[in-house]
């Protein structure tokens, strides 16, 4: 993993548009970079981007705003590795909790987050757009952003905000 740059946005946006039903825009990624969030990409040996994640630190907590893996690289453990790296970065910055939101229908992502030590701490009704109008978001948290995957089960608190998928 390495820090994302403005030069990476086209490749990241292409992955985002391919894997998300309602993707972030170029402006969302540019804003995250300009705001100093922890924006990272994972590359192939040839230098092609195959995954990314953005973590927004706020005082002693952080929010995983987005994470994505190229379709051809899914189901190979890359999402788990990227998540572990982001939790490691949060730990290195002394973040006490990491929060995220995930579509209630995204069973694979929910399982990944639970295996990494996240637990549901809330529900945002009608938070995400979908073909039928909207769907709920599960609010999940991991206390201490402790170790790389697998992370032992932790205790959790409700976050005040968030927009991760």
Query: How confident is residue 133, by pLDDT bands cut at 50, 70 and 90?
Result: confident
pLDDT at 160: 38
Confidence check: pLDDT of 156 > 50: no
- Structural domain boundaries in the chain: 2-143
Q: What is the pLDDT of residues 49-96, one digit of tens each?
A: 999 999 999 999 999 999 999 999 999 999 999 999 999 999 999 999
- Whole-prediction pTM value? 0.82
CATH no., domain 2-143: 3.40.630.30
Phi-psi category of residue 126: left, alpha or beta, with phi > 0 → left and psi -120 to 50 → alpha: left
Known catalytic residues are 101, 113
Q: Which residue, among 106, 36, 104, has the nearest Cα to 68 in the 3D structure? A: 106
Q: Give the percent of the chain with pLDDT over 90.
A: 74
């Amino acid at each position: 993993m390495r820090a994302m740059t403005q030069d990476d946005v086209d490749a990241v946006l292409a992955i985002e548009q391919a894997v998300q039903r309602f993707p972030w825009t170029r402006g969302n990624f540019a804003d995250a970079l300009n705001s100093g969030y922890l924006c990272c990409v994972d590359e192939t040996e040839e230098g092609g981007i195959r995954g990314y994640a953005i973590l927004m630190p706020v005082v002693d907590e952080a929010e995983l705003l987005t994470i994505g893996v190229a379709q051809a690289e899914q189901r190979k453990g890359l999402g788990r590795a990227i998540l572990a790296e982001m939790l490691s970065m949060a730990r290195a910055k002394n973040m006490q909790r990491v929060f995220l939101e995930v579509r209630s229908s995204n069973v694979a992502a929910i399982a990944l987050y639970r295996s990494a030590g996240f637990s549901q701490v809330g529900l945002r009704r009608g938070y995400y757009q979908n073909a039928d109008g909207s769907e709920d978001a599960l609010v999940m948290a991991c206390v201490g952003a402790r170790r790389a995957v697998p992370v032992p089960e932790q205790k959790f608190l409700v976050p005040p905000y968030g927009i991760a998928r």
